[in-house]
Amino acid sequence: MQAIADLGFQYCTPIQAASLKQALAGANVAGRAQTGTGKTAAFLVAILSRYLRSPAGRADKPGTPRALVIAPTRELCVQICNDAQALGK
């Protein structure tokens, strides 16, 4: 994913290092870290990686959601959407 490099990511933050391996393997991950530590990027990279390994054509029905992200505020939803679009380029 070239977008990771384009966005300036060079190293994992501690929360990313602790969670990415399990998330990429498809495991459920829970973690807590301060704002700005890359939590969103970690779970989005795992979701996008899964998309690349399993094309949309394998879904049971066209238009079926492939991921559900729940956030407590509209503002956070917008931020996550923007981050997903940037990482998905």
Paired tokens of 77: 């939803």
Its pTM surpasses 0.85:
no
Q: What is the CATH number of the domain that holds 7?
A: 3.40.50.300
pLDDT averages per 10-residue partition of the chain, 89 residues: 83 92 90 90 91 71 82 95 93
Paired tokens of 37: 């530590």
User: 38: domain range?
Assistant: 1-88
pLDDT, position 59: 55
Paired tokens of 15: 């929360």
E strand or H helix that includes residue 46:
helix 39-53
pLDDT, position 82: 95
Number of domains observed in the structure of the chain? 1
pLDDT, position 53: 84
Alpha-carbon span 60 to 33, nearest angstrom: 36
pLDDT, position 60: 63
CA 13 to chain centre: 15
pLDDT, position 72: 93
Burial (CB count <10 Å: 0-12, 13-18, 19+), residue 1:
middle
